[in-house]
Chains A and B, each alone.
Chain A
Amino acid sequence: MNKRLGHETWDGETYYGQPSVKPSPFDWKVAAYVYVAGIAGSSQIIATMADRLGDRRDESIVRNGRAVALAGALIGAPLLIVDLKTPERFYNMLRIFRTTSPMSFGSYILTGFGLFSSLTAAGHFMGERRRDGSRSGMRRVADMMQVPAAFLGAGMSTYTAALLSSTSAPVWSAAPEALAVQFGTSAMATAAAALSLGERMSGDPENCRRLDALAAVAAAGELVAAGLAERCYRVLGVEGTLNTGTLGNTYKIGALAVGLGVPLACHAINALSNRPSRGLSVLGSLALLAGGAMMRQAIFKAGNKSAERPEDYFRLTEPRPGSTPRRRVDRDIAARTMGLI
């Protein structure tokens, strides 16, 4: 009987199954932005590495990378502005700077990235790299501007994970570190895949092979990060939304099996064979690009859905006897809480 009101541990009771936290009002545009920002940011990094460390034959990687970075910034910013509920005040995003809010420092990352990527691309397409390897003035400007753009590109690739993690939505907040690695590696993998497709078109199979190798390294890292995230979800009891239904299929089959398994297999076969197959490389790249989009979409939707499941949130926020909070003050509170209720 329910005479004794307090229970030592939570017995699963909720308030009529009503959500305890509110899901974000973001829609698909934010998930799409996370994807686009990742490809753009990592493309800039690859282009910068190719420009600084590569030779004349890498010029097409540099050009395509810079173009993708600019395109990503040009598509990404409007996606975010249109998602605002009072879009005419978008400039208020730069009204203050706040390190506690990834939405705030992310706005600066996006602004800076857009600015430097535009300068890089403009300098690149106006200037030239001569046959003897010397560079025109405009091209030198582009090569200078690419450095800050590449640093901000690293931010673009991964800050969106911090943005989702710094909320109270169970799935997003359960694995902040693993999610950041997952987003960052996926950004690099999708960018390398996109540039590999570009090389396929301009016809340098050797460039393709190197980009495919980079994509495979990143995809392998993503697989590990996804595993670590999955373990966090399970330990904290919020794995439900990513395991069942359409969302579970999108994530497990779409993002992990097709999006990571297929490209890893394709690129591995190509790396081991003496005559790398053009078809496998293209298939791997396309699977990576599709998988990255599905991964963002699944994580995004799962976060919103888990916010509507009070049992997920209560399991997440339950003090665990086994785990000790990091901060001393929280350990004190946890000790007191366990005795109190």
Chain B
Amino acid sequence: MNVPPRALDYPDSFLDTVIPDESELTCGTKIEPGKSYGFFTDTTLCIGCKACEVACKEWNNLPADNLGLTGRSYDNTGDLGANTLRHVSFIEKIGHGEDRATEMAPFQSNWLMMSDVCKHCANAPCLEACPTGSIFRTEFDTVVVQQDICNGCGYCVPACPFGVVELSLDDGKAHKCTLCYDRLKGGLEPACAKACPTDSIQFGELNELFDRAGKRVEELHELGATDAYLYGAPDTPGATGGLRHLNAFFLLTDRPEVYNLPVAPTRASSRAAPSFLTGLAAMAGLTLAAAALMSNGRGRR
């Protein structure tokens, strides 16, 4: 990898100031308000080190949770939640019983790892559900919960088609990944992407990431990994049902369900109008029935 020229301006190991636009040095992206940013998580590069989980907890000062062992491969984190904004899932493709593999092909064919995160959907169902305006779209096209406005109604929790948002019972507010809103404002790459040692998590300008991801899929197909595909890029699984695309999208090599992702998630708010209008039509019919009975329903007297 080429060293960005500006890196030579900061030769010391310990600096007494923050490097302006540090993200240019760490991921080649300058962070400017008004542009779209996101994550491209390439699961073929993930080694399951959980550095992203640790970096996220450290930067966001999140408390520990789910202490203990789950018995689900190396996934002792459990799931995404109020205190877990990155979650590495481990899928051992080894089969069961008679089907259990005795030999394994090289190149991660039997062990899938994926660092899951809030998808920052283009049409975010959590945002569309939020009745207080606490969840908003930032100047970096990411979706963030404003903690000083959230009143803990919890409607964003079932609205999310990926089970990302959760209420914390410690403070009674909804929490999810902010795509390191504070770091972006300071010109820093998000903590998880910066910590990722294999560049499985790549942060960048969204269109650039889509291009890069498309090339990566072609490259993998040429290498023989023909099952690689994108999840959440425009016109791919995950970007369905009116969600348009996911700002945090993934490169997967097995069906989405294997990674606990739905193939064709939908935008929850798309059901609001049909449901409400049908209900009102039913009420109009019942009101007519009530009117008929009240005006001349008096029978024999």
The chain A residues found within 8 Å of chain B, CB to CB, are 1-7, 10, 13-16, 18-26, 42, 45-46, 49-50, 52-54, 58, 61, 83-87, 89-90, 92-93, 95-96, 98-104, 107, 150, 154-155, 157-159, 161-163, 165-169, 172-173, 176-177, 179-181, 183-185, 188, 192, 206, 209-211, 213-214, 217-218, 221, 225, 303, 307, 310, 313-314, 317-319, 325, 327, 330, 332-334, 336-337, 340-341
Contact = CB atoms under 8 A, between A and B. Distances in A.
Contact of A173 (B227, B253, B271): B271
Contact of A5 (B240, B254, B283, B289): B254
Query: Which of A10, A101, A325, A333 gathers most chain B CB within 10 Å?
Result: A101
Contacts of B72: 16, 18
B1 to A, nearest CB: 30
Given A177-B275, A181-B282, A310-B260, A92 B149 contact: yes
B239 A1 contact: no
B125 A159 contact: no
A176 to B, nearest CB: 4
A84 B160 contact: no
B129 interface: yes
Contact of B283 (A85, A179, A184): A184
Contact of B128 (A15, A101, A192): A101
Interface string B277-290: 01110111111011
A340 B229 contact: yes
Interface in B122-164: 125, 128-134, 149-155, 157-164
Given A5-B255, A157-B283, 9 more contacts: A2-B101, A6-B254, A21-B162, A50-B294, A84-B172, A100-B272, A101-B272, A104-B131, A173-B266
B295 interface: yes
Interface residues of B, number: 93
B151 A93 contact: yes
B131 A103 contact: yes
A85 B154 contact: yes
Given A104-B131, A217-B289, A330-B240, A25 B295 contact: no
B265 interface: yes
Contacts of A340: 229, 236-237
B41 to A, nearest CB: 16
16 contacts: A21-B160, A22-B160, A45-B287, A61-B294, A86-B172, A93-B151, A100-B128, A154-B280, A165-B275, A183-B279, A211-B293, A218-B289, A318-B263, A330-B240, A333-B237, A336-B235
Interface stretch (B24-32, B52-60, B87-95): B87-95
Contacts of A22: 157-158, 160, 163-166
Q: Is the interface of B mostly helix, strand, loop or mixed?
A: loop
A56 B159 CA distance: 49
B211 interface: no
Interface in B243-281: 253-266, 268-269, 271-276, 278-280
A232 to B, nearest CB: 12
A221 B70 CA distance: 48
A10 B279 contact: no
A83 B134 CA distance: 18
B290 A45 contact: yes
* 3 closest A-B pairs by CB: A85-B152, A158-B279, A180-B279
A315 to B, nearest CB: 10
B86 interface: no
Nearest to A178: B278
A210 B268 contact: no
Nearest to B116: A15
Contacts of B150: 86, 89, 92
A166 B167 CA distance: 18
Nearest to B149: A92
Nearest to B239: A333
A337 B265 CA distance: 12
Contacts of B253: 5
B130 to A, nearest CB: 7
Nearest to A185: B282
